[in-house]
Structure formats: structure tokens, C-alpha cells
């Protein structure tokens, strides 16, 4: 489902999801009317019918990507420090959280923001505060649970403003 992630609609606006659903409903009605008119015209108006079919395909894609069961995300998982320690993976990037409060990150991608080494601490129950050793820059990432894995969000302390991108994955012991 990662290929379809750009088509997922997320909003923090009041009634934003209702407006999105009404937009899809109107687009569906318009698409059906275009298909009907295109097929009813004499001679057959293929352009109008194909426009309606294309619109219906787009509406179907948006509907499937937004209502398909993706990993159910628990934004407030109960985790211990022991659950957080160890290797976290994001493609070729590997983040190693030690019990001493230090981390090392090797590879490209997500490690570019964290830096090669630094310190990590828990900030409340769900946030991790990473401080780079090189320049002292602080990056806050939220711990979420998807299925059996713990994941880190990208730089997002406020879940309402989160863009939906998950970074590092860690198979935590059941606690």
C-alpha cells in the first residue's frame, strides 16, 4: 500500500472528511452522467464516455486507498524503555538505541536527519527526543504501534499535523 500513500486523504480541518466524502459522491454522480450521456449520444460520443470512466476510476482509486484496511495505527502504545532498545530499521538505515541513552544511526535516508550518533530520551509516554552529537540539534519522533511493530513517525510532535509517513520499524517484545 505504500505506492498508494500519496492518494490517502488526511486532514485536521473540522468536517474535512465529510467534505471529502461529499466531493467523492459528487464526482461519482458527474462521472456517471458523463458515461450515460456519452453512450446515449448519436453518434456515440467516446470522448465524453471515456472522461466519465476515467473520473469513476479516479474516484474508485481514492475510495479504495482511503478505506482499505491499512496497518491500524495505535498512537498511544504502552511501551517500556526495554521495548525501545535495540535495532530499528528503515530500508538500509539502521538506528540502534542503547540502554545507556545513546544512539547510533548508519545508512542513508532517515539517518540524515538523526546524524550518526547522539543521545535519546523519552519525552512523556510516546515521544522520543533525539539530540545529535554533531551539532546538538533536537529531533522529536513519536512512537506508534502498527500490528506487532513499533514505528517512529517523521518529525512530528503534534499527531494532528502528521503527514502519515512512518520511518524506523522495530519488532518489540510483547509487553
Residues 165 and 81 in one domain: yes
Residue 54 pairs in a beta bridge with none
Please say which residue of 67, 101, 123 terminates a domain. 67
DSSP letters, 17-40, are HHHHHHHHHHHHHHHHHHHHHHHH
Please say which residue of 67, 93, 116 terminates a domain. 67
Residues 90 and 124 in one domain: yes
Residues 7 and 36 in one domain: yes
Residues 91 and 60 in one domain: no
pLDDT tier at 71 (50, 70, 90 boundaries)?
low
User: Residue 16 belongs to what H/E stretch?
Assistant: helix 16-40
Residues 58 and 85 in one domain: no
pLDDT tier at 156 (50, 70, 90 boundaries)?
low
Neighbours of 172 (CB within 10 A): 20
Residues 144 and 84 in one domain: yes
Q: CATH number for the domain including 119?
A: 2.40.128
Task: Work out how many domains the chain is built from and give that number.
Answer: 2
- For 73-97, the pLDDT digits (tens) are 888 888 888 889 999 998 888 999 9
Helices (H), 42-148: 46-67, 81-84, 111-114
Residues 138 and 88 in one domain: yes
**What pLDDT was estimated at residue 8?**
78
pLDDT for residue 70 is more than 70: no
10-19, 70-79, 97-106: segment of lowest average pLDDT? 70-79
**What pLDDT was estimated at residue 1?**
44
Please say which residue of 51, 67, 83 terminates a domain. 67
Residues 80 and 166 in one domain: yes
**Structural domain that includes position 144:** 73-171
- Looking at the chain, the whole-number percentage of residues with pLDDT higher than 70 is 89
Residues 77 and 56 in one domain: no
* Pair 34, 51: CB distance under 8 Å: yes
Amino acid at each position: 500500500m505504500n505506492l498508494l500513500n500519496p492518494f490517502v486523504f488526511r486532514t485536521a480541518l473540522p468536517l474535512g472528511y465529510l467534505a471529502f466524502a461529499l466531493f467523492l459522491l459528487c464526482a461519482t454522480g458527474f462521472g456517471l452522467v458523463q458515461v450515460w450521456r456519452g453512450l446515449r449520444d448519436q453518434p456515440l460520443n467516446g470522448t465524453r464516455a471515456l472522461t466519465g470512466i476515467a473520473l469513476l476510476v479516479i474516484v474508485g482509486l481514492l475510495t479504495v486507498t482511503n478505506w482499505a484496511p491499512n496497518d491500524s495505527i495505535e498512537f498511544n502504545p504502552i511501551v517500556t524503555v526495554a521495548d525501545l532498545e535495540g535495532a530499528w530499521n528503515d530500508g538500509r538505515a539502521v538506528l540502534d538505541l542503547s540502554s545507556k541513552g545513546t544512539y547510533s544511526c548508519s545508512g542513508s535516508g532517515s539517518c540524515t536527519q538523526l546524524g550518526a550518533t547522539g543521545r535519546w530520551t523519552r519525552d512523556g509516554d510516546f515521544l522520543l527526543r533525539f539530540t545529535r552529537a554533531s551539532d546538538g540539534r533536537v529531533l522529536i519522533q513519536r512512537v506508534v504501534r502498527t500490528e506487532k511493530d513499533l514505528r517512529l513517525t517523521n518529525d512530528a510532535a503534534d499527531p494532528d499535523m502528521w503527514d502519515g509517513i512512518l520511518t524506523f520499524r522495530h519488532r518489540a517484545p510483547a509487553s
